[in-house]
């Protein structure tokens, strides 16, 4: 038998060269970059000379050989270049993977072995998870690694990559398994081409654990696969793999890969993309240092990203403009608008106007953003009425104002305390039927608050509630207005409403406002309760309010206020919330070996539902968060990832939900499925489909654990159906069962959350593998009517 070692050199006719190729057509490359076209290729695998003889033994007889053996389960505003696609189909062909050598079937000495291998190659791809594993388990007495390798390669040849992955996963669990770098690379590359990013990533990490540097092809394909992931954290993962490709492997990626990643980094709106500047600069650095051609759009993208930064790096922008000119590229209108934006943020009127004149000389259509930059420049220089003149000039030029234009001019007029003008602009904006009115309402309310126009502020608050989804900032401004107006009773109602509404919540600022309100009304008993709550949540207490509270209590012959020593302990609500999030995929890790544990809260940036949930969880677990995670008063600045402090209280949950760092289902999980737990599980890892059905993703599920959950739900009169897709189980509630489930969790679901989850249910995988195979043979408790 020919050796299957990746370093062996058998005859060329036996060699299976893994040249990568796309399994389907993909999108065009990054912008109109002048990348030399790559010719499509076919997989250069030698034509299989498999002769499948008639097999006398049937499936039942093969399986019967191991009936007494234990069956093993299988391992569980638009961006700058909005309309361009991410990657070329040819990019998946860009690099070669290591050569994998396998023997031909007729070279095997035993006829019975050839017959059985041929039969397995024919039958296995047709079966799903459990039957697939059962058939392989029946072959343990005779099958070797060389035999299983041949079967896996055969599955790749017929483009059944999932079957190849299952064969490889089964091989890993056998006592005779030896790590085969070439085979792992081949399977990983094929999975990556098919978009199975989690499985491909798993195999890449397996190579690293073996002390091997993954092949350039694996890094390349996985980066492109993550960029092609429509939702979730695909871009973040793509950047991680790209960085590892350069730093760990020392590889020099092709220009097309650099361009594809850069294109993705600048594909979001300016405010969302500005955090990608560091990674974009790294991509640019790699293009330059490897002597590749820097395209015009890369210069334009970097200047665009720099123009959105809070602190403008004028020297860097000037250097990029010089390099762009030296490369022979002219500055487009988009680049000039980016330069105007950078100048306007610093109030540099002369430079802004000079750039404006350059745009006018082009004779092309003037973008509305250029007018916004001029208004911003004059406002920052103190000439706010000049900004209004520019806005009116824009309308005279028959350039319809957009949402950003209205936001900016209303903000400028509100800061200038031009009440009549701001109100007129707000009415005009509202009548235009444009969306995103909230920033304009907030600017108007801040103006009313500064001018003590509390009645108008309350009216604006009511209008905003009718037109927009409320947030904490809106309620906090209204609460401040009520306290300043002396209406403490109404302020108390609003404060209680904020605290009860999970989508709003309270924070340091709102608690200090309410504390000041109670003190001003000399209601020290209620003030003391607010103070106690603030101590428990570790909110910073205003020193002036604390002195007044201490003085008031002393006059009432009570002891002076002292900071209350708080014993850190999770309350019942927090425990149930945490269980629900852990079922949905939240991670816990050890701070040190056998030390206290940390909870890592991670939410999807492109999910409106997760955006709302992250604010709620940040408020509910505020006292447990690290100081860095607690330093955000503005909810819009709360990060999508934050962690708790290390604490022994989290050790119980770590022991129950994780085993050797991998998620598992606790043995007692069926006892913890309260309505609140189910509600947070649904909000974090579930969806309501347009059909009305509800599905929940199980993180770290095993068949036994899922069965306990299903049986527990059935005992609560919530029959469900289970399917397995890829590495995850999904529990579904259909028809009337979905209605019953919703009635159970509705009291604990955040206001307005259902509509958000329904809108996002079109991609229930949330960036995970969308495996075409599903295991319908497991745990159908009460689901068949």
Whether residue 4 has pLDDT greater than 80: no
Quick one: pLDDT at residue 676?
93
Q: What are phi and psi of 554, to 5 degrees?
A: -65, -40
Whether residue 681 has pLDDT greater than 70: yes
| Alpha-carbon span 40 to 199, nearest angstrom | 26
Whether residue 325 has pLDDT greater than 70: yes
How much helix, strand and coil, in percent to the nearest 5, is found in the chain?
A: 55, 5, 40
Higher pLDDT, 99 or 393: 393
Confidence of residue 423 (pLDDT cuts 50, 70, 90): very high
* Helix residue ranges per DSSP H, 248-276: 255-265, 270-273
Quick one: pLDDT at residue 561?
53
| Alpha-carbon span 107 to 270, nearest angstrom | 61
Longest dimension (CA), the chain: 101
| Alpha-carbon span 746 to 21, nearest angstrom | 49
| Alpha-carbon span 144 to 128, nearest angstrom | 22
Confidence of residue 245 (pLDDT cuts 50, 70, 90): very high
Quick one: pLDDT at residue 94?
45
Confidence of residue 111 (pLDDT cuts 50, 70, 90): confident
| Alpha-carbon span 578 to 652, nearest angstrom | 12
| Alpha-carbon span 785 to 776, nearest angstrom | 16
| Alpha-carbon span 239 to 178, nearest angstrom | 31
| Alpha-carbon span 46 to 107, nearest angstrom | 15
Whether residue 56 has pLDDT greater than 80: no
Higher pLDDT, 395 or 8: 395
626-655 pLDDT, tens per residue? 888 877 766 667 888 888 988 888 888 888
Q: Nearest Cα to 680, choosing from 617, 729, 624?
A: 617
Quick one: pLDDT at residue 255?
93
Q: Which of 40-54, 252-266, 576-590, 594-608 has the lowest mean pLDDT?
A: 40-54
Q: What's the whole-number mean pLDDT along residues 39-61?
A: 33
- Tokens for 481? 């207005």
432-460 pLDDT, tens per residue? 988 889 999 999 999 999 999 999 999 99
Q: Which of 79-88, 230-239, 469-478 has the highest mean pLDDT?
A: 469-478
Q: What's the whole-number mean pLDDT along residues 340-351?
A: 94
| Alpha-carbon span 305 to 724, nearest angstrom | 42
Q: Nearest Cα to 21, choosing from 153, 189, 263?
A: 189
Three-state secondary structure call for residue 106: helix
Quick one: pLDDT at residue 615?
86
* Helix residue ranges per DSSP H, 643-752: 651-657, 675-685, 703-715, 736-745
340-to-280, 319, 327, 360, 403 alpha-carbon distances in Å: 21, 16, 22, 13, 19
Confidence of residue 552 (pLDDT cuts 50, 70, 90): confident
Question: Per DSSP, what are the bridge partners of residue 663?
Answer: 658
Confidence of residue 27 (pLDDT cuts 50, 70, 90): very low
**pTM more than 0.85:** no
> Using DSSP, how many helices (H) and how many strands (E) does the chain show?
34, 11
562-596 pLDDT, tens per residue? 555 556 788 899 999 999 999 988 888 876 666 68
Work out the mean pLDDT of the chain and round it to a whole number. Answer: 80
- Tokens for 728? 């995850």
703 and 776 Cβ atoms separated by less than 8 Å: no
Q: What percent of the chain has pLDDT over 90?
A: 38
Count of other CB atoms within 10 angstroms of residue 32: 11
| Alpha-carbon span 15 to 6, nearest angstrom | 10
Q: Which of 1-10, 98-107, 292-301 has the lowest mean pLDDT?
A: 1-10
């Amino acid at each position: 038998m020919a050796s299957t070692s990746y370093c062996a050199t058998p005859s060329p006719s036996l060699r299976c060269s893994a040249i990568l190729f796309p399994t389907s057509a993909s999108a065009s490359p990054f912008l109109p970059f002048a990348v030399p076209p790559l010719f499509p290729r076919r997989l250069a695998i030698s034509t299989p000379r498999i002769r499948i003889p008639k097999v006398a033994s049937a499936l039942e007889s093969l399986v019967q050989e191991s009936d007494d053996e234990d069956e093993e389960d299988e391992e569980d505003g638009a961006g700058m270049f909005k309309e361009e696609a991410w990657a070329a189909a040819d990019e998946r062909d860009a690099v070669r993977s290591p050569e994998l050598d396998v023997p031909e079937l007729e070279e095997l000495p035993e006829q019975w072995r050839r017959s059985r291998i041929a039969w397995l190659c024919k039958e296995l791809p047709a079966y799903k998870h459990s039957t697939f594993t059962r058939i392989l388990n029946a072959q343990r007495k005779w099958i070797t690694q060389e035999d299983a390798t041949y079967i896996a390669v055969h599955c790749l040849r017929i483009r059944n990559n999932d079957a190849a992955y299952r064969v490889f996963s089964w091989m890993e669990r056998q006592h005779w398994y030896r790590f085969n770098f070439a085979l792992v690379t081949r399977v990983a590359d094929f999975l990556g081409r098919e978009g199975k990013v989690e499985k491909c990533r798993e195999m890449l990490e397996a190579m690293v654990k073996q002390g091997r540097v993954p092949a350039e092809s694996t890094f390349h394909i996985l980066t492109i696969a993550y960029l092609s992931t429509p939702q979730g954290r695909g871009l973040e993962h793509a950047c991680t793999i790209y960085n590892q490709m350069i730093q760990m492997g020392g590889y020099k990626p092709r220009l097309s890969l650099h361009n594809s990643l850069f294109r993705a980094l600048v594909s979001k709106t300016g405010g969302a993309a500005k955090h990608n500047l560091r990674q974009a600069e790294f991509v640019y650095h790699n293009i330059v240092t490897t002597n590749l051609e820097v395209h015009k759009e890369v210069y334009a993208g970097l200047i665009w990203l720099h123009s959105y930064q809070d602190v403008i790096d004028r020297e860097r922008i000037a250097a990029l403009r010089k390099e762009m000119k030296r490369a022979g590229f002219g500055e487009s209108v988009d680049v000039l608008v980016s330069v105007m934006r950078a100048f306007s943020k610093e109030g540099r009127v002369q430079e802004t106007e000079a750039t404006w004149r350059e745009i006018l000389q082009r004779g092309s259509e003037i973008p509305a953003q250029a007018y916004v930059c001029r208004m911003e420049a004059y406002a920052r220089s103190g000439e706010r009425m000049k900004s209004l003149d520019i806005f009116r000039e824009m309308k005279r030029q028959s350039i319809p104002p957009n949402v950003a234009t209205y936001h900016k001019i209303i903000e400028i007029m509100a800061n200038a305390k031009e009440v009549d003008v701001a109100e007129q602009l707000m009415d005009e904006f509202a009548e235009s039927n444009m969306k995103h009115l909230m920033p304009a309402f907030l600017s108007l309310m801040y103006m009313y608050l500064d001018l003590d126009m509390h009645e108008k502020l309350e009216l604006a608050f009511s209008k905003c509630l009718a037109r927009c989804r409320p947030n904490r900032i809106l309620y906090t401004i209204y609460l401040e207005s009520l306290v300043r107006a002396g209406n403490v009773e109404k302020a108390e109602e609003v404060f209680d409403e904020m605290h009860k509404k999970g989508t709003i919540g309270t924070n340091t600022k709102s608690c200090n406002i309410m504390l000041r309100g109670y003190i001003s009304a000399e209601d020290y008993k209620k003030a003391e309760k607010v103070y106690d709550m603030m101590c428990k949540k570790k909110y910073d207490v205003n020193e002036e309010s604390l002195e007044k509270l201490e003085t008031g209590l002393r006059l009432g012959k009570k002891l002076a206020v002292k900071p209350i020593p708080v014993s850190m302990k999770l309350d019942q609500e927090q425990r149930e919330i945490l269980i629900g999030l852990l079922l949905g995929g939240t991670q816990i890790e050890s701070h040190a070996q056998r030390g206290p544990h940390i909870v890592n809260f991670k939410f999807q940036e492109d999910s409106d539902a997760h955006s709302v949930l992250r604010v709620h969880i940040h408020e509910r677990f505020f006292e447990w968060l690290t100081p860095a995670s607690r330093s955000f008063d503005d909810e819009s600045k709360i990060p999508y990832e934050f962690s708790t402090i290390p604490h022994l209280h989290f050790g119980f949950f770590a022991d129950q939900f994780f085993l050797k760092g991998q998620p598992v289902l606790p043995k007692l999980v069926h006892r913890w499925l309260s309505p609140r737990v189910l509600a947070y599980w649904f909000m974090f890892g579930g969806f309501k489909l347009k059909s009305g059905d509800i599905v929940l993703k199980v993180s770290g599920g095993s068949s036994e654990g899922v069965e306990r959950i299903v049986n527990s739900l059935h005992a609560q009169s919530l029959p469900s159906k289970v399917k397995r897709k890829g590495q995850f189980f999904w529990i579904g509630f259909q028809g009337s069962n979905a209605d019953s489930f919703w009635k159970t969790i509705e009291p604990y679901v955040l206001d307005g959350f259902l509509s958000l989850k329904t809108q996002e249910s079109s991609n229930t995988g949330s960036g995970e593998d969308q495996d075409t195979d599903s295991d319908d043979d497991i745990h159908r408790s009460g689901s068949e009517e």
